[in-house]
Amino acid sequence: MKRGFTSLAEEVLDAACEAAASMGQTYIGTEHILAGLTDVDGCTAQKVLLKNGITGAGIRKMLNQPFEGANGTVTSEGGSFSPMAEKLLNAAGEEAERYRSEYTGTEHILLAMLKSEDCAALRFLMGLGGNNQKIMADLFVAMGEDLKDHKSELGVDKNQGGRQEEGILKNFSKDLCRMVKEGK
């Protein structure tokens, strides 16, 4: 079932279009949607991102650097959403349905983004030092959800007494950004 967007989510999508256009992009990717989430004052997603140190300025700085992320797909129509952005927005609609919301809000967009392992926006968040589980936990709290109901999504293993698992990314990768900051 296709759901409409809240007025703030519509503003986010408009801001994403503006971010892409300002960069001369012919597509709107998940990274532009992330920029939109940081630009719309007062939306739930922006509040959670700011709480976790993710700012519009940081996103803009990363957007202006060359990166491999938007899956290289450019649509034939300028200003169209990339296939990954379309997938993200569909997943956000599913999240809205899951939480019995009549409309898709910014919190649903951010939640879908955090759950999408292959989108550029998630790589941006991690590159800026964001912690996926912490952002997700803060988002659930902002949505009025009980964290106990979301243990599996937050990576909490019952056998660890409530500690969070490090996750596959930590186990099989190196944080190059952190290494550069440490001068390694």
Give pLDDT tens digits for 120-162. 999 999 989 999 899 999 999 999 988 888 887 887 654 444 4
Q: Do residues 57 and 50 make contact, with C-beta atoms less than 8 angstroms apart?
A: no
Residue with tokens 């968040």, as numbered in its chain? 125
Percent of the chain residues topping a pLDDT of 90: 54
Percent of the chain residues topping a pLDDT of 70: 80
Q: Do residues 59 and 152 make contact, with C-beta atoms less than 8 angstroms apart?
A: no
Write down the pLDDT at residue 170: 55
Write down the pLDDT at residue 181: 75
Write down the pLDDT at residue 169: 54
Q: Do residues 27 and 75 make contact, with C-beta atoms less than 8 angstroms apart?
A: yes
Is the overall model pTM greater than 0.85, yes or no?
A: no
- Whether residue 175 is predicted with pLDDT greater than 50 in this model: the reply is yes
Closest CA to 124 of 172, 77, 78, 61: 61
**Residue 53 CB neighbour total at 10 angstroms:** 12
Write down the pLDDT at residue 70: 43
User: pLDDT confidence of 51, banded at 50, 70, 90?
Assistant: very high
